[in-house]
Structure 1
Amino acid sequence: MTAALSGRSTAVRLLAALVVAILGWVVPAAAHEVRPAYLQIDQTDDSHYTVLWKTPLLSGMPLPVVLRLPDDVKHVVEPLERPLPGSILQKRVISAPAGLAGRQIAFVGLQATITDVLVRVTWLDGRQASAIVRPSQPWYLVPAEQSFWSIAWDYTALGINHILYGLDHLLFVASLMLIVRDWRVLVKTITAFTIAHSVTLALATFGLVTLPPPPVEAMIALSILLVAAEAVRMERGKVSLTITWPWVVAFGFGLLHGFGFAGAMVDLGLPQRDVPLALLFFNVGVEIGQLMFIAAILAVACSARLIFTSGRSMRIAAAYGIGAIAAFWVVERLDAIFL
């Protein structure tokens, strides 16, 4: 029996080490490469439009997607490129005598990527429309106007995508779950985190409180590292504020994470006449995605308990893996601040 348990424990450690190694290889590269592209079209008179086309950088190279406008559209000002942190911005002025409503805009090459495109169109009379274009259908049919439900659906989907691709936010939630074992305390902790990041997301989106993104990103990575370290301390029998009152720490760091969500909202743009609506449903999408992640983690943990007996070793390995990734991000993001 002892030999069998020892063999299982060794297998668990090897499996955990393999998972950590894979995460360490994949996560740093993928953390910033799934941000959506962004197309903004603003009508300036009856037949002229200003077009902003922003594509993320993948391993230092622009996203291999080409913007294709309707055939009768003419360039008044040819595209001018400007590099931004993590992306390339093109600005051009076009002439469309027949207008753009009911016309198709294509994104050539999008189907070969995993990146979405957020599109926002503003007409001269203030009407707006926005949508998320997927690789499975790489074109956008410009509507005459947009309904309440269309905005709600688009920004809910955007929120879900943002949290599920936001590996730093997910790792913070995962590190909290390593500390919290009671489901009542888990509900309280996740609720505190949700309330906190919802508050700062709203404040930052409306411009009431702002923080520069690079330091915020570095502090988010540091928050993950600190909570992962606390998870290891807990397994060693230590006691601290985080271990005793995890919801307090979750609320404090949640305020910081809200600024990270707000940075994504600013990057992607908001419909000016429907900012509260878009903000509400973006936040709803974030919470849905967060609950999906928590449910998946709980399902995996329950399944692991049926197979393995060395739960403590798995928790320690997971904490060290999360901490190692977070430490890499801290160094990487601090380096980006001082470049």
Structure 2
Amino acid sequence: MKPSLSSRLPWRTWCCLWAALLLFVGAAGAHEIRPAYLEVMPTQSGWQVLWKQPVVGDAAVALQPVFSGGWLDDSSAELSRTPTHLVKQWRVAATQAPLEGQTITITGLDRTITDTLVHIRLSDGSDITRLLKPDAPSMRVEAGRGAPAVAAYLMLGIQHILLGIDHLLFVLGLLLLVRKRARLLWTITAFTLAHSLTLALSALQIVQVSVPLIEATIALSILFVAVEVVNLWRGEAGLASRWPWGVAFAFGLLHGFGFASALGEVGLPKDAVLPALLLFNLGVEIGQLAFVAAVLLAYRALRRIRPALLERGRWLAPYAIGGLAGFWCIERSIAAFT
């Protein structure tokens, strides 16, 4: 008769497990804070300013674009909402201060963990694209000083995967499930191909899905992999341990729709849709590979330095992943059906 899991784990390990789970739950909101987006486009009578401000729950993140020329000092913005953003639009008369030479600042950005993508089209048709960060929330509008119109999408992809705790936990579950290098390579490749496919289909509006339902199903996929890890370690090989690449591909299709939902809120430049999409996807892959490398290096270092600690605490990871995924599954299912 096999000893129960509780008899194999000392009480201190259980305390650490639940403490880690609570910390994960507290950090889980990071994935919900999507990038803000500021767009400035010329019109026949002046300028149109579009601002997409991230929303967490029912409250908008305290961010506001400020133009040094006083463009947005009035309260004439047209308001609308999406599930993840508060959207504001201003129409600025051509008689106001010229755009070039102004400094744009995103107030409150320095107190967040998100970024702001700024896309400006000048009167001569040239584009300026910048990604403003918490440590650099301002930019000066100068012709010829912007990055190529799609360059910022690479950083957006990296940011999304590294702040996407749910996606990273799924990848971590795959790492716990597959030990052989060749098999792990095929599994990660299958996951990459799958989410790249649905990311493209959704971003190009070929396939449209319910975002809340997809988010709930992504949480369910993480819970499934965590259960499969526990069953494998108990000596009961399941579907995911026998065909990890197939499971990774199937669930990767869901995760691709999740990536696309974040990209869809920011939007793709109309004159460079494919390059921006490719760079965003490349950024996701760079971030994913960096995470995989970091986990494998940390595991190898801990196995050399404290192998006994690694063995005693190995059950912590799948139970923490599964507990958090279960919490997300309930929370997101309620949101999807209300």
TM-score (norm 1): 0.88
Partner of 2:233: 235
Partners in 2 of 1:262 and 1:59 — Cα distance?
20
Q: Quote the residue 2:128 is aligned against.
A: 129
CA distance in 1, matches of 2:16, 2:336: 36
Q: Are 2:70 and 1:69 equivalent residues in the alignment?
A: no
1:153-193 CA-partner distances (Å, limit 9, x unpaired): 31111111010001111010001111011111111111111
Q: Which amino acid in the other structure matches residue 61 of structure 2?
A: L
Distance in structure 2 (CA, Å) of the matches to 1:229 and 1:337? 24
2:19 partner letter: L
Residue 255 of structure 1 is matched in structure 2 by 253
Post-superposition offset of 1:130: 2.3
CA contact (8 A) 1:76 1:93 kept: no
Q: Report the Cα offset of residue 27 of structure 1.
A: 3.1
In structure 2, distance between residues paired with 1:7 and 1:272: 58
Task: Give me the whole-angstrom Cα distance separating, in 2, the residues matched to 1:313 and 1:13.
Answer: 11
Asked if 1:105 is matched to 2:104, the reply is yes
Contact residue 75 and residue 93 of structure 1 kept, 8 A: no
State the Cα deviation string for residues 127-176 of structure 1 (Å, max 9, x = none).
543221112221133344687x6345311111110100011110100011
Aligned pair in 2 of structure 1 residues 219, 320: CA closer, same or farther (>3 Å)? same
Q: What's the counterpart of residue 41 of structure 2?
A: 42
**What residue is the counterpart of 2:23 in the other structure?**
22
The whole-number CA distance in structure 2 between the counterparts of 1:218 and 1:59 is 16
State the match for 1:3 in structure 2: none
Aligned equivalent of 1:294, options 267, 292, 295: 292
Q: Give the 3-state SS of the residue equivalent to 2:22 in structure 1.
A: helix
Aligned to 1:116: 115
Query: What is the distance in 2 between the residues matched to 1:21 and 1:227?
Result: 20
Q: Distance in 2 between matches of 1:336 and 1:161?
A: 25
1:49-99 per-residue CA deviation (whole Å, 9 max, x = no partner) reads: 222212123464322222212325377981133333233221221124454
User: Using a 3 Å threshold, how does the CA distance of structure 1 residues 285 and 169 change in structure 2: closer, same or farther?
Assistant: same
1:216 to 214, 217, 241: 214
User: What SS class does the counterpart of residue 51 from structure 1 fall into?
Assistant: strand
Number of matched pairs: 330
Deviates more, 1:80-89 or 1:221-230: 80-89
- Residues 233-255 of structure 1 show CA distances to partners (whole Å, capped at 9, x for unaligned) of 10111122210110111111111
Partner of 1:277: 275
* Secondary structure at the counterpart of residue 309 of structure 1: helix
TM value normalised by structure 2: 0.88
> Which one is further off, 194-203 or 296-305?
296-305
* 1:11 Cα offset (Å): 5.7
CA contact (8 A) 1:73 1:96 kept: no
Instruction: Give the partner amino acid of 1:159.
Output: G
What letter is aligned with 1:91? Q
User: Who is 2:3 aligned against?
Assistant: none
Deviations 1:262-283 (A, max 9, x none): 1111111111111111111111
Stretches of structure 2 lacking an aligned partner (at least 5 in a row): 1-6
Q: In the TM superposition, what is the alpha-carbon distance from 1:333 to its structure 2 partner?
A: 0.8
SS at match of 1:315: coil
**Which residue of 152, 159, 165 corresponds with 1:161?**
159
The aligned counterpart of 1:31 is 31
Q: Which residue identity lines up with residue 114 of structure 2 in the other structure?
A: T
Deviation larger for 138-147 or 230-239: 138-147
Query: In 2, Cα distance between the equivalents of 1:17 and 1:10?
Result: 11
**Contact 2:13/2:316 (CA < 8 Å) preserved in 1?**
no
Superposed CA RMSD: 2.6
Distance 1:67 1:325 in 2: 35
Q: Give the 3-state SS of the residue equivalent to 2:160 in structure 1.
A: helix
8 Å Cα contact 2:100-2:143 kept in structure 1: yes
Letter paired with 2:313: M
Q: 1:226 to 1:8 in 2, by over 3 A?
A: closer
Asked if 1 retains the 8 angstrom alpha-carbon contact of 2:28 and 2:165, the reply is no
Amino acid at match of 2:29: A
Going from structure 1 to structure 2, the CA distance change for 1:338 and 1:59 (only over 3 Å counts) comes to closer
> Could you tell me whether the CA contact under 8 Å between 1:76 and 1:95 is conserved in 2?
no
Q: Which runs of 5+ in 1 are unaligned?
A: 1-5
CA contact (8 A) 1:43 1:123 kept: yes
State the distance in 2 between where 1:55 and 1:227 align: 34
